[in-house]
Structure 1
Amino acid sequence: MKYLILIHSNPASRAAWEQLSEEQRANFGHSHLALNDALAAEGVLAGSEGLQPVDTAKRVSVRDGRTITSDGPFAEVKEHLAGFYIVDVDSVDEAVAIAARVPDAQFGAVEVRPVYDMSQLES
């Protein structure tokens, strides 16, 4: 089963980031690369990406057949999605164990959520 591990940025995690030296920040990034490599070697990585800051985002909606976009940031967002991993493992316990290996879990919390299996829908 696939699980999405969501990495959230919030005031506490940003404050912790600000306290890191340049070397610690570089090591943090290398830790993500090492985790990617390890999960790929374990055969459980289905995808992962870090995301650009929320002020680079666009919100899209469709009303009366018309596409409407707005630029971020949206409202007063204190927490936003900073990145994600998608893992394909046998249990939520395995996904939680992987989430504990995500470097961001040291500064805050990461979220584990099952991915809805769309193949179960009837055509």
Structure 2
Amino acid sequence: MKYLCLVYYDENVINAMSPQEWESLNKECIACGDNLRSTGHFLGGNALQPVNTAATLRVRDGRPHVTDGPFAETKEQLAGFYLLEAENLDQVIQLAGKIPPARLGSIEIRPIRELQPD
């Protein structure tokens, strides 16, 4: 089964890191991805740019409405995602627990709902 693991953390905590701490965290994330890839669990993933680069789109009455930033104001911001393959929720929890930013924020785990074509 496929699971989307959404990585959330407080960007203020990240912004307060020294360049060396930030580089170390990024190296850990790369190593985590490499390990998940080597075991066949990693299907894809990416880090996201900071929330100040985001836009939210809504279409109402056929017209687009765009606002700056993410949809919700929260303490933690969506920072990236891992798309993982796992046998069940227990296994994906074990795998996601190794994602380094889990120490700084949270990982939301969502099963993928496969849409069936007609």
| Contact preservation (8 Å) 2:8, 2:76 | yes
Alignment of 1:1-123 (within 5 A): 1-10=1-10, 14-15=12-13, 18=16, 20-72=17-69, 76-119=73-116, 123=118
Amino acid corresponding to residue 8 of structure 1 in structure 2: Y
| Contact preservation (8 Å) 2:9, 2:104 | no
| Contact preservation (8 Å) 2:51, 2:69 | yes
Tell me: CA distance 1:67–1:45, structure 2 relative to 1, closer, same or farther (3 Å). Answer: same
Name the TM-score, length of structure 2 as normaliser.
0.86
Gaps (5+ residues) in structure 2?
none
Name the TM-score, length of structure 1 as normaliser.
0.83
Tell me how far apart the structure 2 counterparts of residues 86 and 57 of structure 1 sit (CA, whole Å). 21
Tell me: CA distance 1:81–1:16, structure 2 relative to 1, closer, same or farther (3 Å). Answer: closer
Count of residues in correspondence between the two structures:
118
Tell me how far apart the structure 2 counterparts of residues 68 and 16 of structure 1 sit (CA, whole Å). 30
Q: Deviations over 1:17-76 (max 9, x none)?
A: 62x432222111011111111111111111111111111111111122112212125564
Amino acid corresponding to residue 114 of structure 2 in structure 1: D
| Contact preservation (8 Å) 2:42, 2:85 | yes
Superposition RMSD in Å: 2.1
Q: Percent identity?
A: 36
